[in-house]
Amino acid sequence: MNRVLDFFWPGIPADDSQMGREIRLRQFLLVAQAVTTISGVNLINSVLTSFLFWNVLPHALLIPWLAISVLSSGNRIWSSLRSRNRTPPAKIGRRTIVRSTIWSAVGGALWGIIAISMALQVSILHHVFLAFVVGGQAVAAAVWLSPILSASYAYIWLSVAPLIVSLAWQGHPMTSVMAGMLSIFLIASFQLARRSHSDFVETVMAKLKLENLYDQLSDSEDRLITAIETIDAGFALFDAEDRLVLANSRYREFYDLSSASMHKGARFEDILRTGVTAGQHPEASGRLEDWIRERLAKHLNPKGPFEQLLSNNRWLQESEYRTKDGGLVSVSTDITNLKQAYDSLKHALDQAENANKAKSEFLSSMSHELRTPLNAILGFAQLMQYDPDANHSPEQEESINQILSGGKHLLELISQVLDLARIETGNIVVSIEDVLLQDVFSQSMPMAESLARKYNIRLNVSPFDENTVIRGDATRIKQVLLNLLSNAIKYNNPGGDVTVDCTPTGGTLIIAVSDNGPGIPEDKQSQVFEPFNRLGAEAGDRDGTGIGLTITRQLLEMMKGRIGFDSKADEGATFWFEIPMSQSRMIADEDIVDKADTTATTTNNQTSGRVLYVEDNPANVRLMEGFFSHRPNVKLIIAGTAEDGLELALGSSPDLIFMDIGLPGMDGYEAAEILKSDPATNKIPIIAVSAYADKEDIDRSVEAGFDDCLTKPLVMEKILSTLDTRLEVDN
């Protein structure tokens, strides 16, 4: 029922939402545009109808009707024409829609009055004329006034319904049929008005959404442009045809000499040529076209950031990226300060490197210059001390001892200062490999025991697993252990004890050296590893340089180890260092022989020759000797350093040389280069034996002149195969 009632009278909408207010505004504005046309048609129809009905209707009715209709239509035409020069209102209230509905009702009522007046007349022709006029205007109202549906309904109801009543009142068959047809026409007009109104509302809503999207897009574009304009980098966007879309002020500032050509639609090449012609790119000087081609190639096929120098000595980093639609984004960043800082830093680094190099060269030179007179001092002092014919007084003996002691101390100081300098300049290379702990102790303890006897110290080593294998540089590990033992002995109390303990702890081995001497005062413990700081011991009679612990810590760090200590005054000190343990087990001599006997590798008595093996690690030497036991006719010659190896290579003329890379002093690379440059040895094949297994290290071995490279851990079959192949070829 409500739907039926709503069909015949939709009422005046009360929607006060933003969308409702916007629709009301557009309803009013659209109808206001149609007022002139509707009112003009109404005025003409009123005049024609009055002329036709002049002799039919009483003048007392017709003349006031015509006057009211003409004045009403004329007023609305005048108001509409005058309002066109005014600013359209920002919003329309519901009251304005009500007024529009009332005005439409008045216009329809005027024609309804004529229709009722015609009910008293019998002229069918006049009824037909009036039906056409009113019906036509009803259709116009259904279309033109449909944006304001209540106004359209009010006009249709008050103009057509009275005419239907007037026609039915006549009682004539024709007028009755016309009344029925007009009733149907009335309903059709309502439907037409509703459909037009619905289409209008949908159109308005769609338009509002588009406008809202456009506003959002415009806002987003404005925000994007604002953001691009405020960034510190230069920004430019080119379309798929390489024409400029936009460029921020920073970009124009960077390329100020070509900014005049940076209008929208300008080609990048034209902008570039403008700058080059103006001298903006000093790198293009003398080769303009070549430089332009190179720059265009980078632009058309961007492959990453690149640097660009401008004529004002400003450096830019250019980053160009392709967009999905084929366009290009260019971002220019000022890196002038960064370049200057980099150049300053590079200059400072070069100066520091040169200073380190000069320091190393100076220390090396000083070492040579100091050792020469020291050799004479110590040599003649020993001659004096052991001269059987000399009859020295006690004072003279004491003086000779002081000379020898001071000379040895100075010699130790020179060696340690050189070690420290080499570490600081990176000139010491450690060779990380498997080292048998037993070898470290067997080589270190005799020297430590000799020193302990001198100071009347008891030296004890706790039992440890002789098969323990650690990872590091054998020579440097021995140096670390001897330094800790030497300190524990020298700074102990007379008749004291020094104990060495080895404790495995989850992948590492801790070697602790303990003494029961005076210990280190708590206020001086933070200074223990400072170079040249002997913590006040320089006032006593104990020899020392104060840099041994500094070197020890740095060597351990190079071998991925660490050092620490625990001490209490008058209770002694314990210095310990931690070194990584190997996951493998070092092969002992007897194991090598047993294993060799059980392998499928057979002894080859045909291979013969002399092989020089340059290696400083005793465990590796023993391992190689075990391998060579399967080639009894091959003589193995051992050298512990590269220098000794060079001498043996010249003196014994070996058929093959195995050379370790990480040797103390001169390394294997340098030794191989010397051997390959000497006509007496350049024909001898040299095989690199190295724990460095990276491709870069192997390539470096080839560049140094090695004929092949074997990486550790060594494989017996590979060693024997190398012997058979190389010595057979050589023979």
The tally of CA atoms less than 13 A away on the side-chain side of residue 441 is 20
C-alpha 511, offset from chain centre? 43
Instruction: Return the pLDDT at 593.
Output: 40
Determine the CATH number of domain 234-334: 3.30.450
Q: Among all chains, which residue has been given the structure tokens 């002081």?
A: 402
Instruction: Return the pLDDT at 546.
Output: 52
The tally of CA atoms less than 13 A away on the side-chain side of residue 638 is 13
Determine the CATH number of domain 433-580: 3.30.565.10
Instruction: Report DSSP letters for 56-106, one per residue.
Output: TS-HHHHHHHHHHHHHHHHHHHHHHHHHTTSPPPS---HHHHHHHHHHHHH
Q: What angle do CA 287, 275, 334 make, to 5 degrees?
A: 105
Residues of the chain where predicted confidence (pLDDT) is lower than 50: 538-540, 544-545, 586-600
- Topology of the domain comprising 340-424: Helix Hairpins (1.10.287)
Handedness of CA 83, 88, 93, 98 (dihedral sign): positive
Nearest to 502 by CA among 587, 584, 579: 579
What are the residue boundaries of the structural domains of the chain, listed by start? 2-212, 234-334, 340-424, 433-580, 589-730
Instruction: Evaluate whether the domain defined by 589-730 bears CATH number 3.40.50.2300.
Output: yes
C-alpha dist (Å) from residue 714 to 435, 722, 725: 14, 12, 17
Could you tell me where the DSSP H helices lie in 171-303? 173-230, 249-254, 268-277, 288-300
Instruction: Return the pLDDT at 274.
Output: 92
Angstrom distance (rounded) from CA 305 to CA 303: 7
Instruction: Return the pLDDT at 387.
Output: 67
Cis status, amide bond into 632, omega within 30 of 0: no
Angstrom distance (rounded) from CA 418 to CA 431: 19
3-state per-residue secondary structure call for 440-507: HHHHHHHHHHHHHHHCCCEEEECCCCCCCEEEECHHHHHHHHHHHHHHHHHCCCCCCEEEEEEEEECC
Angstrom distance (rounded) from CA 725 to CA 237: 67
Q: Which three-class secondary structure state does DSSP give residue 118?
A: helix
Instruction: Return the pLDDT at 624.
Output: 82
Paired tokens of 192: 């037409």
Q: Contact at 8 Å (CB) between 684 and 656?
A: yes
Instruction: Return the pLDDT at 74.
Output: 76
Instruction: Return the pLDDT at 512.
Output: 94
C-alpha dist (Å) from residue 691 to 364, 430, 502, 623: 29, 11, 26, 15
